[in-house]
Each structure stands twice: as C-alpha cells, then as structure tokens.
Structure 1
Amino acid sequence: MTNLKIAVILGSTRPGRNGEAVANWVLTKAKERADADYELIDLLDYPLPHLDEAVPASRGAYTSDHTKAWSAKIREFDGYIFVTPEYNHSTSGVLKNAIDYLYAEWNNKAAAFVSYGSLGGTRAIEHLRAIASELQLAHVRQQLSFSLFTDFENFSAFKPSPVHDDAAAVLFDQLESWARALTSVRS
C-alpha cells in the first residue's frame, strides 16, 4: 500500500505572518508519521490574482497558466491540512481565493483545519467547513486552534502549549484514515 500524500496549505501571505511558524510546526509533527508523506504548500509560491477564470471551476476549463499550475499541484494530494489565520471572523481572502480557483481537484479527498487568532481562529475554521462541504471535501472533526494570547509570545513568537501535541496526533489519525478511505471513492 502506497503512502498517502497530504498537503499542509499555508493560508496567509501577509508580511510578518504568524502562519509560517504554525505551518512549520504542523509539518514537523506530521513528518514523524509513517503512513503519509506531508508537503508544505505556501500560497506565496502560487501567486494567484483575484479569481480571473471566466468559466466556473466546476467545469474544469482552465485558461490561465497560474490556474493550471495550481490545479496540477493540488491534484497530487489525497488530503489537505489548511492552516488559516482568522481575519474579521473568517479565513483569509488569499486562502478563499486559492480554494475557489478549483473544484474537481478537491472532490472526494479529506481535509483538516489548523487555525490561529485572538480566539484561536475557530470562526475561520467554521467558514472553511462550509466551503469544504460544497467542494465535496470530507473534513474531520479534530481541529487545532492556537490562541495569539496563550500560544504566541508577544503575539508573534509561536510557542504552542504541549496540550496541542495530543490533539495533533488525533487530527493526523483522523485525516489519514479518511484520506485512505476516500482513495477507493476516487478510483
């Protein structure tokens, strides 16, 4: 049985972003696992303009090279961990835009969510859950939410509480289980 491929998608491109440290922490924890290969996908490396495809993503008729490159990258994976900040009680605009570019590439795959913000970013996750459901992206129950007050020193240096280690293990277990189960749905 081949290893699953799971992307850790860093959903912020903001200068001085806290998300990079969070995503790297997630990736470090994920790399300790044996049943899946995890890869960081930084949206800085995929500079997508505001959605500029004339045809809805559900048709898959992409015309722009940036969309085709994004599609090819996302298509590689069996599952995703979305690392999102909470901006104005929701996810970041850049992450929402990147998700909206595609449709079939997300279908019948698994997703998990990691957030950070003043209230742990939980409202951003709730919005992402609704978006994932529309994309036929099966999202797992376990999530990780990091508070700017308790998991960051001076709101910028990421120092997660050890309590998150056990929660991360559950998140990975659930995500890998669902991702593996959905491979049969896609075949």
Structure 2
Amino acid sequence: MTDAQRRPLLQIIVASTRPGRVGEPIARWFGDYAREYEAFDVEIVDLADVALPMFAEPEHPRFARYTLDSTKAFSATIARADAFAIVFPEYNHSYNAALKNALDHLNQEWARKPVALVSYGGVAAGARAAEALIPVLVGLQMVVAGTVPIPFAGQRVSGEGEARTFEPAPETEAGAKAALDGLGSWLEILGLRGAR
C-alpha cells in the first residue's frame, strides 16, 4: 500500500482515568463506529494506561527535548496520529485534570491536526467541559472538527467490567457521523489524507 492509499490514523483518547469510568465503553463504541465508517485506521489511547506523571519536563514542550521516558513514549504515540477524538467527562463544569496534563506534555505532536470532542455528563452532556477545552486545543493549533455531546451517559452503559457496552441514542450516532465527516473534511483541507 502506498502512502497515498494509506488511511489516516484516528486516535481515540480516553481521558478519564477513574475506575469504572463511563468513557471506556463510549470510546470502544466510537472506535467501532469509526471502523465501520471505513475512512480511518483506529487506535484507542487510554490515559489510564499511559499513566503520565504530573508534567515535570524541564523545558517547554515546543522544543521536544524530552527527558522522561514516559514523555518520550507518549510523544511517539501521539505523533503517529493524523486526527483525534477525545472522549472526556465533565467534572465541576470543566474537563478533567488527566486530560489537561496529557495535552500540556506535548506541543508539535498535537499541532495542525483535527479533533472531535466526545463529551459526556449529566443533563449538560459535557458541554461546559467542551467549552473550557476548546481554547486549549486552539492554543495547541488543533482544529475542532465536530462535537458529540452525550447526556446522562451512565444510563446508556450496561454490563460489567470489560464487557460493559454503550448503547447510543440515535442523536448520538448522528453526531458521531457528523464528527467523522468533519474530521475527514479537515484532513483533506489540511492535506493530511494518507500523510502517515
């Protein structure tokens, strides 16, 4: 397969690191949905598995002169992606600390790449968290290509442990399709289709 034929890599980032988090089955659902969409290769990046320490690099991330093995490994992971979908909760009217820490660890690895926001929470569906997150992503030179707000997400998860599944409402599926359409459009605009 040539570079021109290779599908872009979409990384789905599970932002919550809490035990029993709703984000994990949502991310698996979104990953399956993106695979069926057939425009992307899909990889799930779980911040609970990445286990970054609180940011402690001596130099600004824009220089990419990392000293910690954890940062070097995370940099290599994020750098290979062409686009992202971030699955994140709303905590206290904002997004969670593990996500901010992950974003702050890197700079150029995020830049000039499109991102879809898959937010979840109660009645607000993570909307306030998304509003807080967007300026950070813009500061990292990312392009927000779509949003998928999920209200009362916990009520749509069933099962136990690794077998937990998320059953989206029709509106959520429509939002996922629109977000994937947006990611594809921005990849074309940015000239990143098949760029890996």
Superposed pair shares fold, TM > 0.5 = yes
Match status 1:135 vs 2:135: no
2:34 aligned residue = 30
Give the whole-Å Cα distance in 1 for the aligned partners of 2:129 and 2:67: 30
Match status 1:109 vs 2:113: yes
- Within the candidate set 121, 127, 138, 1:122 is matched to 127
- Within the candidate set 8, 11, 15, 2:12 is matched to 8
1:40 aligned residue = 44
TM score, norm. by length of structure 1:
0.91
2:88/2:119 contact within 8 Å kept: yes
Q: CA RMSD in A?
A: 1.9
Unaligned runs of 5+ in 2: 159-165
Q: Once superposed, which parts of structure 1, at least 4 consecutive aligned residues long, lie more than 3 Å away?
A: 155-159
2:186 aligned residue = 178
The Cα offsets for residues 108-153 of structure 1, whole Å up to 9 and x where unpaired, read as: 111110011111001111122111100001111x3111112xx432
Unaligned runs of 5+ in 1: none
- Describe the SS at the equivalent of 1:31: helix
1:152/1:159 contact within 8 Å kept: no
Q: CA deviation at 1:64?
A: 0.4
2:154 aligned residue = 152
TM score, norm. by length of structure 2:
0.87
Give the whole-Å Cα distance in 2 for the aligned partners of 1:39 and 1:156: 21
Q: 1:169 to 1:156 in 2, by over 3 A?
A: closer
Bigger RCO (CA 8 Å, 6+ sep) = 2
Across the two proteins, how many residue pairs are aligned to each other?
A: 183
- Higher-strand-fraction structure: 1
